[in-house]
């Protein structure tokens, strides 16, 4: 399977913040701890080992086994859960929303990134154990972000009323969706496997958290992946002291605001806006922000309120009802996991950069941050078409109008670039300027105006010629546009738009095997795979 790499900065799809981080730009040094290189994990392990207790390890392993319930667990995963009790075991973690049927393709890339990094670390540090973790975002409440996936250019949606934490949502109503997918997928063997997987996940489990756990466990069954649900009373007991500080001192707000201002002073955008209290109150069908007003604590959009004493009592008796938002969730995660590295997309890493000083203030080790693998999958039929058109893969990342212009200029039998003519014209006017300097200012201005007029005329002629050649070459340009539209749906990265099922229908398990084999999490380049 041919594999190609492209610097992230040349794709046009990644922020300056992420590109600067990958380049180890000095301006960002204060916003992360250690850069993701194999040799830097030794110090990270030593630091985490000092900070993480055996008591936490045993609690974590116990709760994870409880969460799996009666799911079939591979021996590899069982072994990894048991290894979490050992002081020389560490985790590599990624998180993801509970998107319907995995949602966008990059779900696979995130998880193979953690799996492959664990294998690389075990080879580099054979006396230690490394466990790949998928942290399910069960406490999210943005149902509209997860209730669909795209298939063959259509939006497959699960339409229902929803409120509260999505992990607790009933899977009722998904039978109709299964019947729809059966028609869309067809009758191939791979189609039957996908339908069976959807049915077993969503029709045989009562809530979205259990369904997603089953689905991820099935897809990565042989790779030792361990799935964690943070919405757990026993695990949240560990979080209580930090929630108390959040309620009584607004600590995260102060530190994150300071760090965010420093990032913005350097020209980077704010990814997540900190609030005075970065917590939600969580009950059945409810997840709303906690807001303090004049010493009393209110649950937004409800009649629920507490005095300071009452809310602290509620926290200690029912810690499961206090849910961290996007800025506080990383701290909770690092408290309950013996974690070394968080792997996420560009947007996720952007808000982690806002957190380093806060972690230091609460004396919790800040993890190594690693950009997940990004991939463009190019089916064989499209690869052949690109070769016939003589299109370099990197050109496909250009905006559509730039790609069409570039290709037109390359295949046109007429020279469209008037750069030489403009250069010659400017030289002629340079001589005129010398003459003008010997007269008065008004003549000098007239020469300048005439130069601008002539250059503008050449530019207009160049545009008209380009437009005419695009019409003459319309058939080939249309073929190229169709290829780009297939690989970059809606002028967006494929991994953010398509669902894995489109490729699984064609390639089956070979798709997962190829991703496992070809994704190198420490290779900081964009990957293009020809299937």
C-alpha torsion sign, points 353, 264, 361, 39? positive
Q: Which residues pair with 149 in a beta bridge?
A: 156
Segment 128-166, tens digit of pLDDT: 999 999 999 999 999 999 999 999 999 999 999 999 999
Give the model's confidence band at 199: pLDDT under 50 very low, under 70 low, under 90 confident, else very high.
very high
Give the model's confidence band at 356: pLDDT under 50 very low, under 70 low, under 90 confident, else very high.
very high
Instruction: Identify the CA nearest to 462 among candidates 415, 430, 494, 425.
Output: 415
Q: Is residue 447's pLDDT more than 70?
A: no
Q: Are 198 and 218 in contact (CB under 8 A)?
A: no
Q: Is residue 514's pLDDT more than 70?
A: yes
Segment 82-117, tens digit of pLDDT: 999 999 999 999 999 999 999 999 999 999 999 999
Number of H helices, E strands in the chain: 23, 15
Angstrom CA distances, 177 to 119, 152, 281, stand at 37, 15, 32
Segment 261-280, tens digit of pLDDT: 999 999 999 999 999 999 99
Q: Is residue 237's pLDDT more than 80?
A: yes
Mean pLDDT confidence for 215-243: 98
- CB burial of residue 113 (10 Å; 0-12, 13-18, 19+): buried
Mean pLDDT confidence for 27-51: 98
d(CA 189, CA 508): 9
DSSP 8-state symbol, 488? S
Mean pLDDT confidence for 452-470: 77
Give the model's confidence band at 463: pLDDT under 50 very low, under 70 low, under 90 confident, else very high.
confident
d(CA 271, CA 70): 39
Buried b (16+ CB within 10 A) or exposed e, 246-266: bbeebbbbebbbebbebbeee
What tokens were used for 94?
Answer: 């990624």
Mean pLDDT confidence for 314-326: 98
Least confident among 191-195, 325-329, 352-356, 472-476: 472-476
β-strands 226-229, 129-136 pairing: parallel
Give the per-residue pLDDT at 62.
98
Residue written as token pair 């009562």: 206
Mean pLDDT confidence for 479-507: 97
Helix (H) or strand (E) holding 73: none
Q: What is the mean pLDDT of the chain?
A: 94
Q: Are 488 and 396 in contact (CB under 8 A)?
A: yes
Q: Is residue 190's pLDDT more than 80?
A: yes
β-strands 3-7, 322-324 pairing: unpaired
Q: Is residue 413's pLDDT more than 80?
A: no
Give the angle 226-231-236 at the CA atoms, nearest 5°: 100
d(CA 126, CA 55): 24
d(CA 403, CA 405): 5
What tokens were used for 328?
Answer: 């506080």
Q: Is residue 525's pLDDT more than 90?
A: yes
Segment 43-60, tens digit of pLDDT: 999 999 999 999 999 999
Give the per-residue pLDDT at 511.
97
Q: Are 270 and 260 in contact (CB under 8 A)?
A: yes
Give the per-residue pLDDT at 27.
95
More confident residue, 454 or 27: 27
Give the model's confidence band at 438: pLDDT under 50 very low, under 70 low, under 90 confident, else very high.
confident
Give the model's confidence band at 441: pLDDT under 50 very low, under 70 low, under 90 confident, else very high.
low
Mean pLDDT confidence for 373-377: 98
Per residue, the 3-state secondary structure of 442-485, as one string, reads HHHHHHHHHHHHHHHHHHHHHHHHHHHHHHHCHHHHHHHHHHHH
């Amino acid at each position: 399977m041919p594999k190609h790499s492209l610097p992230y900065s040349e794709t046009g799809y990644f922020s300056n913040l992420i590109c600067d981080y990958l380049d180890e730009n000095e301006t960002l040094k204060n916003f992360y701890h250690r850069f993701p290189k194999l040799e830097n994990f030794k110090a990270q392990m030593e630091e985490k080992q000092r900070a993480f207790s055996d008591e936490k390890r045993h609690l974590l392993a116990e709760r994870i086994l409880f969460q799996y319930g009666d799911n079939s667990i591979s021996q590899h995963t069982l072994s990894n859960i048991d290894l979490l009790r050992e002081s020389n075991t560490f985790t590599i973690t990624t998180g993801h929303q509970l998107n319907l049927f995995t949602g966008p393709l990059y779900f696979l890339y995130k998880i193979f990134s953690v799996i492959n990094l664990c294998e690389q670390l075990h080879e580099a540090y054979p006396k230690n154990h490394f466990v790949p973790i998928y942290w399910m975002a069960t406490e999210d409440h943005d149902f509209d972000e997860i209730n669909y996936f795209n298939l063959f250019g259509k939006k497959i949606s699960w339409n229902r009323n929803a409120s509260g934490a999505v992990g607790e949502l009933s899977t009722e109503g998904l039978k109709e969706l299964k019947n729809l997918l059966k028609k869309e997928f067809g009758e191939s063997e791979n189609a039957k496997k996908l339908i069976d997987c959807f049915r077993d996940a969503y029709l045989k489990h009562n809530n979205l958290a259990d369904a997603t756990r089953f689905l991820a466990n099935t897809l990565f069954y042989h790779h030792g992946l361990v799935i964690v649900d943070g919405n757990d009373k026993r695990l949240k007991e560990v979080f209580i002291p930090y929630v108390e500080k959040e309620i009584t001192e607004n600590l995260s707000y102060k530190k994150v605001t300071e760090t965010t201002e420093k990032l913005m002073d350097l020209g980077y955008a704010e990814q997540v806006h900190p609030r005075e209290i970065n917590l939600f109150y969580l009950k059945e069908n409810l997840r709303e922000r906690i807001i303090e007003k004049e010493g009393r604590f209110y649950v937004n959009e409800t009649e629920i309120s507490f005095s300071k004493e009452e809310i602290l009592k509620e926290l200690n008796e029912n810690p499961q009802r206090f849910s961290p938002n996007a800025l506080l969730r990383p701290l909770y995660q690092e408290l309950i996991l013996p974690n070394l590295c968080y792997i996420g997309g560009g947007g996720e890493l952007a808000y982690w950069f806002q957190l380093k000083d806060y972690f230091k203030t609460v004396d919790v080790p800040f993890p190594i941050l690693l950009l997940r693998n990004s991939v463009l999958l190019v089916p064989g039929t499209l690869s052949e078409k690109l070769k016939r058109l003589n299109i370099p893969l990197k050109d496909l990342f250009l905006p559509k109008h730039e790609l069409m212009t570039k290709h037109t200029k390359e295949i046109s039998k007429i020279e469209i670039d008037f750069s030489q003519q403009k250069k010659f014209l400017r030289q002629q006017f340079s001589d005129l300027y010398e003459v003008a300097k010997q007269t008065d200012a008004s003549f000098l201005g007239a020469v300048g105006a005439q130069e601008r007029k002539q250059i503008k005329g050449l530019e207009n002629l160049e545009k008209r010629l380009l437009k005419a050649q695009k019409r003459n070459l319309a058939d080939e340009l249309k073929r190229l546009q169709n290829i780009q539209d297939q690989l970059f749906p809606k002028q967006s990265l494929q991994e953010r738009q398509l669902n894995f099922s489109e490729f699984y229908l064609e390639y089956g398990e070979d798709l997962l095997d190829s991703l496992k084999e070809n994704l190198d999490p420490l290779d900081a380049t964009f990957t293009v795979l020809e299937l």
